[in-house]
Amino acid sequence: DGFIEVLRNGVRIDSFAYPFRDLWAKRPNIPIQEGDLFELRARDSRGNRIQGIATIPQAIEIEDLKYEIIQSADTDGAIRPFLQCTIIFSDPVHIKNFYQLIITETLSNGDGNNVQQVKYFKDDPVFYIRDQEGSLMGGIDFHGSFADHLINGTTYELKVRLPEAYTKPIGDTEKRELNFMLLSHSQDYFDYLRSRVVAEYNYDLPIVDPIKIHSNVEGGLGLVGGISIASRKLVFIGNG
């Protein structure tokens, strides 16, 4: 018997009954702009109340995208070719920014499209920033997320390596699109994502200190966050 309200900049723009027959609810018609303040409220007939707020961050545009084939050492020490890509963007000064780089590949041929996420090597120093506990955790893959501690207020060239397979020519009738998405997270979502990664990293350890999953919901547990996305593509077209 729960009821959910969505407020945008203090004005209620949506309300609906709790979707008890489903795991989640999608509300596709809510307009969202950078800088909007969203508040989610939920209540039930027994007087329980929870709420959470989030501001939609500004998307930081990718100003340029470059690539080259380089020779570098793989994880086993062997020298192999890699597709090194450089994502150039300007981090705003006097603002704490929280990012995530996601790369997807769309391979098109006569049989249709195949879309998958690309696993890339995170050698750039931004991926080795301090986590929320203040310790260096370079051994954990935080899914391409990073804060602007090392690059605040600068125009930065973020370099990543794609595996050897991306250095090889594609088929004559194929087209490969590499979509580079620079996500800007609200701080709460960023802290939630990284605390989840730390917790999952420690699942298999026999003894470990408790990991607190970040939450910003008053009266309960959960996360209300915002993400904005800027993207650019590299497109490789076969000779045919």
**pLDDT at residue 46 in the model:** 93
155-162 vs 145-147, strand pairing mode:
unpaired
**pLDDT at residue 65 in the model:** 97
Exposure string of 82-99, with b = 16+ CB inside 10 Å and e = fewer, is: bbbbebebebeeeeebbb
CA–chain centroid gap for 117, Å, is: 12
214 DSSP 8-state letter: P
**pLDDT at residue 131 in the model:** 46
C-beta separation of 185 from 98 below 8 A: yes
103 closest CA partner among 65, 144, 71: 144
Residues in the chain: 240
**pLDDT at residue 211 in the model:** 75
**Residue 28 structure tokens:** 């596709």
Q: 135-144: list long-range contacts, CB under 8 Å, 24+ apart.
A: 137/198, 140/197, 140/198, 140/201, 141/197, 142/193, 142/194, 142/197, 143/100, 143/193, 143/197, 144/100, 144/101, 144/102, 144/120
Beta bridge partners of 8: 11, 38
CA–chain centroid gap for 82, Å, is: 23
Mean pLDDT by 10 residues, the chain (240 residues): 94 92 88 96 94 97 97 89 97 96 92 90 84 50 93 97 94 93 97 89 68 91 95 91
In order of 107, 166, 172, 174, 235, the CA distances from 239 in angstroms are: 15, 16, 5, 9, 13
Q: Which helix (H) or strand (E) holds 2?
A: none
**pLDDT at residue 212 in the model:** 84
**pLDDT at residue 136 in the model:** 43
Dist CA 205 CA 6 (whole Å): 40
Q: Which helix (H) or strand (E) holds 99?
A: strand 98-109
C-beta separation of 170 from 238 below 8 A: yes
Would you say the C-alpha torsion 146, 149, 154, 159 has a positive or negative sign? negative
